[in-house]
Chains A and B, each alone.
Chain A
Amino acid sequence: DAGVIQSPRHEVTEMGQEVTLRCKPISGHNSLFWYRQTMMRGLELLIYFNNNVPIDDSGMPEDRFSAKMPNASFSTLKIQPSEPRDSAVYFCASSFWGNPDNEQFFGPGTRLTVL
């Protein structure tokens, strides 16, 4: 299995631009998680989906952030408009709902820089 795939790996954009991050979970997994990692705040869970349905989006920082999962093999995290404070590494992770050990498999991350 290729593992969790994220694209792009690096993104540099200017303040005010729209940014879209993409994630392909491991085949057969039905839970998907978006995390943000910064030096100041560490690893934060932004949102997670079960069977393509958003379950908990309480970690989404504000309305500029939105996430979708149109099917079991694809999810997007969009920031519009982007701001310099959104600069971070964004991770996507997937797991199998119903697995009692809840192991999550992480992608390599997208490093976002907003100038």
Chain B
Amino acid sequence: AQSVTQLDSQVPVFEEAPVELRCNYSSSVSVYLFWYVQYPNQGLQLLLKYLSGSTLVKGINGFEAEFNKSQTSFHLRKPSVHISDTAEYFCAVSPRSNDYKLSFGAGTTVTVRA
């Protein structure tokens, strides 16, 4: 079984400031890692994913995440946020197998202020 812990439930940040959202996971098997974003009143949209290879993954809208196997972490970062980045962000994992179940964290609400 897999579990995901997002360490911050709410992150307020000023426009053009950097932001980091923390995600830790536990799993008895190797996993794929994902970050999804949910804008108000919308469904989830994939930001980026880690499958293998380089531990630094770049996604859409200027976001990137770094996989750290020893710390079982997959933190999301953006060097300069915009008002439009206000959303809820979900970290998720799925096992590297034929089981396609995604396990989601509780989510982190990012509020960007001018």
Contact = CB atoms under 8 A, between A and B. Distances in A.
Interface in A9-54: 31, 33, 42-43, 45, 48, 50
Contacts of B86: none
A5 B106 CA distance: 25
B44 A45 contact: no
Interface string B16-46: 0000000000000000101010000011111
What does DSSP make chain A's interface, helix, strand, loop or mixed? strand
B94 interface: yes
A101 B48 CA distance: 11
Nearest to B94: A102
A110 B31 CA distance: 30
B67 interface: no
A102 B107 contact: no
Contacts, number: 48
Nearest to B93: A102
Given A102-B32, A103-B49, A108-B43, A43 B101 contact: no
B49 to A, nearest CB: 6
A91 B101 contact: no
A95 B43 contact: no
Interface in A91-115: 91, 93, 95, 97, 100-109
Contacts of A104: 46, 100, 102
Contact of B43 (A91, A102, A103): A91
A112 to B, nearest CB: 14
B32 A43 contact: no
B104 interface: yes
Contact of A102 (B36, B102, B104): B102
A107 B102 contact: no
Interface of A: 4, 31, 33, 42-43, 45, 48, 50, 56, 91, 93, 95, 97, 100-109
What are the nearest 6 A-B pairs in CB distance? A106-B43, A106-B44, A43-B104, A108-B43, A42-B106, A102-B94
